[in-house]
């Protein structure tokens, strides 16, 4: 990876909050992020679940989805369990489905970073590279 997921998470969250895509969940997202970023153990885990609940309520919120992808990678690096690899892979697939359905990523770099993390999540699950090649062939590229 040629980027820092923690910094990318900060940028994606800032875009999500300023875009209005979270609507009435904006304050809750800010609060949960504050707790997630400054806590550890159970308190951080509860905030992480809250952030994912917000994401579930806002399936079209592409900037917030990107943020969730990055913070899930942070979880993977702290607690290496299959559940986080699956969650991250699913979030990446959702993000990419949004782009295929006409929701534009914030930047071409956002799309590249999500694709890189998707590869990492899938590698962590031991998924086949041939599947990845087929997926890339079917995925919309930036500017398509």
Contacts of 88 (CB under 8 A, 6+ apart): 69, 72, 73, 76, 117, 118, 120, 121
Domain assignment present for 69:
yes
pTM: 0.87
Domain assignment present for 13:
yes
Domain assignment present for 143:
no
Domain assignment present for 144:
no
Contacts of 110 (CB under 8 A, 6+ apart): 12, 66
Domain assignment present for 128:
yes
Please state the domain count of the chain.
1
Range of the domain at 49: 5-138
Tokens matching residue 93: 């697939």
Continuous segment of H or E residues that includes residue 138: helix 129-138
For 39-75, what is each residue's pLDDT tens digit? 888 999 999 999 999 999 999 999 999 999 999 999 9
Cα-based distances in Å from 111 to 82, 105, 118: 24, 6, 10
> Of 66-70, 75-79, 82-86, 93-97, which range is least confident?
75-79
- Quickly list H helices, 58-103: 62-78, 82-100
8 A C-beta contact, residue 99 and residue 111: yes
Length of the chain: 144
């Amino acid at each position: 990876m040629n980027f820092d997921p923690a910094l990318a998470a900060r940028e994606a969250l800032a875009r999500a909050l300023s875009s209005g895509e979270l609507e009435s969940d904006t304050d809750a997202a800010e609060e949960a992020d504050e707790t997630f970023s400054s806590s550890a153990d159970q308190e951080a885990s509860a905030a992480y679940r809250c952030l994912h609940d917000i994401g579930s309520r806002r399936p079209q919120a592409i900037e917030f989805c990107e943020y969730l992808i990055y913070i899930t990678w942070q979880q993977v690096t702290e607690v290496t369990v299959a559940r986080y690899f699956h969650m991250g892979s699913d979030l990446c697939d959702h993000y990419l489905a949004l782009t295929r359905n006409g929701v534009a990523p914030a930047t071409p770099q956002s799309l590249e970073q999500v694709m890189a993390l998707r590869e990492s999540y899938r590698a962590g699950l031991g998924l086949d590279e041939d599947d990845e090649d087929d997926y890339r062939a079917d995925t919309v590229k930036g500017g398509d």
